[in-house]
A and B are shown apart, each in its own frame.
Chain A
Amino acid sequence: MENKRIYLDHNATTPLHPEVEKELQDCFKIFGNPSSMHTFGRQAREKIEKVRHETASLVNAEADEIIFMGSGSEANNTVLNLLHCRGNLCRGIAFSRSSLITTSIEHPCIMNASRCLTQHSIKTIFLKVDEYGKVDLEELESVISDKTGIVSVMLANNEIGTIQDIKTITRIAHEHGALMHTDAVQAVGKIPVDVRDLDIDFLTFSAHKFYGPKGIGVLYVKKGTPYCPFIHGGHQETGRRAGTENTLGIIGLGKAVEMAKQEMDDIEKRVFFLKEKFKAGILERIPDVRLNGHPSDSLPQTLNVSFFGAEGESILLYLDMEGIAVSTGSACASGSLDPSHVLLATGLGAELAHGSIRFSFGRGNTEADVDYVLDKLPRVIERIRGMSTVYKGGRK
């Protein structure tokens, strides 16, 4: 039997697009420091600025509103840092407004950076979500005040795919004079995102989530928005992010952006089709499952399923042996005692959160992949349930 490999973990990261790979190989010899004035430097600089324009147009921004960084996490930390920064440029936020509003389902970098802010006397409010992972807008209206400096709500959730109504949330934030940030790492390059339409002040995204290289994050900062660098040093990125530019990473991002513009619509339709087919297959072949996330306002490629009575890490590893790569919200796979904070926030019981698996499709997946997984998965679940103290063949 051939050694089959099916990658269904595109929300974790994506393989390089072949065109990105080619572009990187073509550019390996570009080594000049983009800040140098000589030919070597100018060659690198030219590439970077071209990518800046390309990247800006992907989200309908201006080139000078785009800052390249080391990761999405860095971009998110940079924004939250503004709340306690005492720099010259963003002092306004810190001195008059000392609270952050975010949600209980953010990526760990927002969750942990928020917790860190409390040490700087910044109060953070974590908004609740409903059973589908949607932010409670009424709660937002009731807790937001003239003390709120920044509202940070992720555009699409990495685990369950739920998409928030960022436009409305931004309007509410602005009505109270707060700045609005969205972590759009799971959205940009996968679904259309328009910073003008959202009227957003800060937006984070990352190349490796849409077939670009790792180590490149992007922060969009609307022109005129108070801002201070998080990484201090040289004058790179017009003083907004120090550190010699990751030229190759930025070049890779540029190509990934170019390809996303060409292929995004097609991929979006295709992965959605695969997901729907897969979902129907699971519901038909496996009893006692629960679909997590919003039924319609959801990323096209993300399907999160809980299997009653079966523990997630076991499912993940048995699937891995069949060549199928997925991820789980089980604590056992994370090294902590708690299962996914996202699933718990949607009100899912701990047992179902431990038994959750995320399947995330991408441009390389085919219908044959779906058929293969639908053939293997029921047996894996049945096998684990057969060993389970919890599963008695009926819904618990």
Chain B
Amino acid sequence: MSSSNWLYTDIVKEHFINPRNVLENEETYKEDGKGIVGNIKCGDQMMIVIKVKDDIIVDCKWKTYGCASAIASTSMLSEVVKGMTLEQAYHISPKDITERLGGLPEHKIHCSVLGDKALRAAINNYYKRTGQEHRIGKEEVRIICQCMNVTDKDIDEAVKNGARTFDELQFRTKISTVCGQCRGDAEEYLHQSIHLYGDG
């Protein structure tokens, strides 16, 4: 088949066909840190394990229950983080990965947001295992609604408490009730948040 009519870019397709660093021997693999995020109800779950030497990630393996974009973006992520310091790896964003993949279809971006979260969970897990709890990163807080000072964490909280639609989110947080400019961002983040926390 010609690649031009594929839903995904050639890079995504290539990583989907030949995923790198899949964790094959889960029982015997001696990881230094392990992170699992996502929920099966939303259709994907991600596990990342890392080996660390002198504060540098020397190996990264993964498993996922997910679609092509989840598989490809984690495959890419696992390649990228090897050789990075924990600090560098901690700050990788889904956008970094999507760019390296040559982009993803708009409606598939939310499928690629689990990889970096699982990686941070794995790094935090490593800090915990090695008695470096003080290094465990606080997730950065992003203000979504400037007018009402509503952050991404507030949205996560609202979702954990049952908000599933924008109206419900607005009812709980008063987000986007003043100038309304943040509505697009808010809806996008809500979408993502439901993806991550929407099972409770």
Contacts and interface: CB of A to CB of B under 8 A. Distances in A.
A74 interface: no
B148 to A, nearest CB: 25
Contacts of B191: 337
Interface in B166-200: 191, 194-195, 198
Nearest to A336: B107
A389 B71 contact: no
7 contacts: A311-B66, A313-B68, A321-B1, A332-B67, A332-B69, A350-B43, A389-B64
B119 interface: no
A66 interface: no
A18 interface: no
B11 interface: no
Interface in A284-325: 309, 311-314, 317, 320-321
A24 interface: no
B18 to A, nearest CB: 11
A321 B17 contact: yes
Interface residues of B, number: 32
B16 interface: yes
Interface size class of A (residues with CB under 8 A): 20 to 34
A189 interface: no
A244 interface: no
Interface of B: 1, 16-17, 19, 22, 24, 36, 40-47, 63-71, 107-108, 110-111, 191, 194-195, 198
A331 B44 CA distance: 10
A339 B195 CA distance: 12
Nearest to A330: B43
Q: Is the interface of A mostly helix, strand, loop or mixed?
A: helix
A309, A332, A339, A350 interface centre (most CB from chain B within 10 Å): A332
A337 B111 CA distance: 10
Contacts of A354: 40, 43
Interface of A: 3, 309, 311-314, 317, 320-321, 330-333, 335, 337, 339, 350-351, 354, 386-391
Contacts of B70: 311, 332
B105 to A, nearest CB: 8
Contact of B71 (A312, A330, A337, A387): A387
Contacts of A339: 43
Nearest to A352: B40
Given A332-B111, A389-B36, A389-B46, A337 B67 contact: no
A390 B40 contact: yes
Given A314-B71, A317-B16, A387 B43 contact: no
B180 to A, nearest CB: 23
A1 B52 CA distance: 44
A382 to B, nearest CB: 13
Nearest to A313: B67
Nearest to B47: A389
Contact of B40 (A312, A317, A320, A350): A350
A337 B24 CA distance: 29
Nearest to B198: A337
A386 B22 contact: yes
A332 B107 CA distance: 9
The 4 closest A-B pairs by CB, nearest first: A332-B67, A313-B67, A335-B107, A350-B41
Contacts of A309: 65
B68 A389 contact: no
Contact of B43 (A3, A320, A331, A388): A331
A222 B19 CA distance: 57
A337 B107 contact: no
Nearest to A335: B107
Given A339-B43, A389-B36, A389-B65, 20 more contacts: A311-B43, A313-B67, A313-B68, A314-B66, A330-B67, A331-B42, A332-B67, A332-B70, A332-B108, A335-B107, A337-B42, A337-B110, A337-B198, A350-B41, A351-B65, A354-B40, A354-B43, A386-B24, A389-B46, A389-B64
Contacts of A386: 22, 24
A312 B19 CA distance: 17
Contacts of B108: 332, 335
A312, A314, A339 interface centre (most CB from chain B within 10 Å): A314
B36 A387 contact: no
Contacts of B42: 331, 337, 350
A311 B39 CA distance: 13
A314 B69 CA distance: 9
Contacts of B43: 311, 330-332, 337, 339, 350, 354
B195 to A, nearest CB: 6
Nearest to A321: B17
Nearest to B46: A389
Nearest to B19: A387
